[in-house]
Amino acid sequence: MSAQSVATALLLPPLLFVLLALAAVISIRHRAVIALVVAGAMVATLALATPFAAGTLRASLERHASAHPDADGRPRTSPGAIVILSAEGVRAADGSLSPGPLSLERMAAGALLARRTGLPVLVTGGPLSPGGPPIAGAMAETMATVFAIPPRWVEPAARDTAENARNSAALLRREGIAAAYVVTHGWHMPRSLEAFARTDLAALPFPVRTSALPDGRAGDWVPRPDHLAESWFMIREWVGIVVYRLRDG
């Protein structure tokens, strides 16, 4: 596991709330203050586990998913390729790597777009762990065998979304391609578009599986573990956007 992955796990909820509660128990002498911190951590964790919190966080990202990349005044250019961004991978018992559920959703959407447009496909994603195989290789094989669309380009070195954008843009610009569709989940699209905006490749968003904003019905307030995981993903995206803006200016 990389240092970035460890930091992400420790510094984001819900583990952050657990660490704060433990720190309060260890360092604070007043029982009332300890009880208040622990209760606050529990309530915050339960709140993030509700469909309402997870859906609201997701919608806060997805509402930017269709923002046109040429809003900054750059000339509009017809796309010449489809870039599919990697997500997670799944290790089999024999050690082989396959695309995970999120990666497969992106690949299915990219394959559909490729059939509609006839444009060539680029898949991008480096090793998910030190010394491991690049996820782009597994994506390319699955695209060819399952979706019957062999990618024209495989970018196997990118370690994060920023490198997905830089490496893909460099590869396509060498081919004379000035614009491309970018395929990723709607909640991941804002960070992806910001990364591509720092390259010389115009990115046209093709978001996967956007959802409606929760309407506050009774079921939206029942905590579930899968929604806690979803909230974690959405918070990580917002943190990633902030980090990119601070780091890249």
Asked if residue 214 belongs to a domain, the reply is no
Are 117 and 54 part of one and the same domain? no
- pTM for this predicted structure: 0.87
**Number of folded domains in the chain?**
2
Residues 125 and 155 sit within 8 Å (Cβ to Cβ)? yes
- pLDDT of residue 110 exceeding 60, the answer is yes
Using CA atoms, how far apart are residues 153 and 121, in angstroms rounded to an integer?
A: 7
CATH number at residue 104: 3.40.50.620
Say how many Å lie between the first and final Cα of the chain, rounded: 28
Residue 194 located in a structural domain? yes
Q: Degrees (nearest 5) of the Cα angle 134, 101, 106?
A: 75
Check whether residue 120 and residue 41 sit in a common domain: no
Place of tokens 């709607």: 186
- pLDDT-derived band at 70 (thresholds 50, 70, 90) equals very low
pLDDT tens across 128-146, in order? 988 899 999 999 999 999 9
Residue 201: which domain range?
68-208
Do 203 and 229 fall within a single domain?
no
**Does residue 215 form part of some domain?**
no
Residue 190 Ramachandran class (φ > 0 left, ψ -120 to 50 alpha, else beta)? alpha
* In-domain check, residue 199: yes
Q: How far does CA 131 lie from the centroid of its chain?
A: 22
Q: Do 40 and 117 reside in the same domain of the chain?
A: no
Average pLDDT score over residue span 31-40: 94
State the Cα–Cα distance between residues 165 and 88, nearest whole angstrom: 17
| Torsion angle of the four alpha carbons 27, 31, 36, 39, in this order, in degrees rounded to the nearest 10 | 90
**pLDDT, average across residues 164-182:** 97
Are 187 and 232 contained in the same domain?
no
Alpha-carbon gap, residue 177 to 190, rounded angstroms: 22
Number of residues that make up the chain: 249
Residue 86 and residue 198 in one domain? yes
Q: Same domain, yes or no, for 89 and 53?
A: no
The chain-wide mean pLDDT, for the chain, equals 90
Residues 118 and 181 in one domain: yes
- Residue 113 domain flag: yes
